[in-house]
Structure 1
Amino acid sequence: MTWAVRPYVAADCAGCWHVFFDAVQTGARHHYSQAQRDAWCASVPAPTLENCARLGDALTCVAHRGETVIGFMTLERNGHLDMAFVTPDDMGRGVAGALHESVLQSARAHGLGHLTADASHLARKFLARHGWHEIEAETVMRAGVPLERFRMELKLEPTQ
């Protein structure tokens, strides 16, 4: 079965959080230790009102295969790419690229010309391949565990 990308709907909430957990715990295993992955996301976040609002309040794009969410990206309305995750089984199949293109279209439609991200090691490589520039590396603490991430930016050209 093929997959497609569309805007987030409320019914996607639980699926997105499952993708997030799988991407952190399995997809990022070559970049972060188990302690770091547990500090980042030790269990699947519940689809609470707050967690669903985090997705729904952003410009969120979802990749799905039928009713199953296989990836998502959230762009906050200030131009910050907050979350970008794809299931480990679907990594390397163009899903992230399609989500990224959809997010860029949303950004342009909302008049955003400058995007930022705090990227993981894995997202850093992906974003760099898509024209993002690294500003600086930084270490943040999560549950007392240091995690390295990379502040990045992308300047969008206006559409003609």
Structure 2
Amino acid sequence: MSQKIRIRPGRPRDAAACLAIFRAAVHVTAAATYTKEERDAWAPDGPLPGWSERLLAGTCLVATTWWGRPVGFMTMGRDGHIDFAYVHPDYTGRGVASTLYHRIENIAQEQGISTLTTQSSLSALSFFTRHGWTREARQSVIRHGVALTNYRMSKNLR
């Protein structure tokens, strides 16, 4: 990483920044693998009901610049499911996602979680594969009436 990144627990006040990162990642980073219609359905404008609660329901880690600006986040439920894994497009390719992921994996092991799961976007598929995950199934999920392709993936931690 060319710039120091800090990892800290997510807080309720991070919800707006994480939502902005989510939308930027979907609309910019995922533009290579999803159509505009798909991206608009995945990350629509306006409020997302339950966003803060979903973000902070389990373990939420936020990557920040040295001066505190959030640039990425990752969440893991108590069952080992990684729900969110997003990095702002300005910070992709700098090791932010890997740093977040390694911290999440360590927390999972400390909690005795034996298997991690996720539903990986086409954009994140290579990331999870590089980190030892296995594709279980290609699937189609409906978001705001639009079908999106993703992959159910898992990683055994034992």
Secondary structure of the residue that 2:32 maps to in structure 1? coil
Matched, 1:135 2:122: no
**Long gaps (5+) in structure 2:** none
**Long gaps (5+) in structure 1:** none
- Superimposed CA distance per residue, residues 19-40 of structure 1 (whole angstroms, 9 cap, x where no aligned partner): 0010001110000000000010
Say which is worse superposed, 36-45 or 17-26, in terms of deviation.
Answer: 36-45
Instruction: Please give the TM-score of this superposition, normalised by the length of structure 1.
Output: 0.91
- What is the total number of aligned residue pairs between the two structures? 155
- Cα shift at 1:44: 5.7
Structure 1 residue aligned with 2:155: 154
Alignment of 1:59-70 (within 5 A): 59-65=59-65, 66-70=67-71
Matched, 1:19 2:21: yes
Structure 1 residue aligned with 2:55: 55
RMSD of the TM alignment (CA)? 1.4
The code of the aligned residue for 2:5 comes to W
Alignment of 1:8-157 (within 5 A): 8-43=10-45, 45=47, 50-65=50-65, 66-157=67-158
Secondary structure of the residue that 1:57 maps to in structure 2? coil
Query: For the residues of structure 2 that align with 1:45 and 1:99, how far apart are their CA atoms?
Result: 26
- Superimposed CA distance per residue, residues 104-153 of structure 1 (whole angstroms, 9 cap, x where no aligned partner): 01111211011111000111110000000000101112122110000000
Say which is worse superposed, 145-154 or 50-59, in terms of deviation.
Answer: 50-59
Secondary structure of the residue that 2:118 maps to in structure 1? strand
The code of the aligned residue for 2:63 comes to A
Query: For the residues of structure 2 that align with 1:90 and 1:3, how far apart are their CA atoms?
Result: 10
- Cα shift at 1:2: 2.5
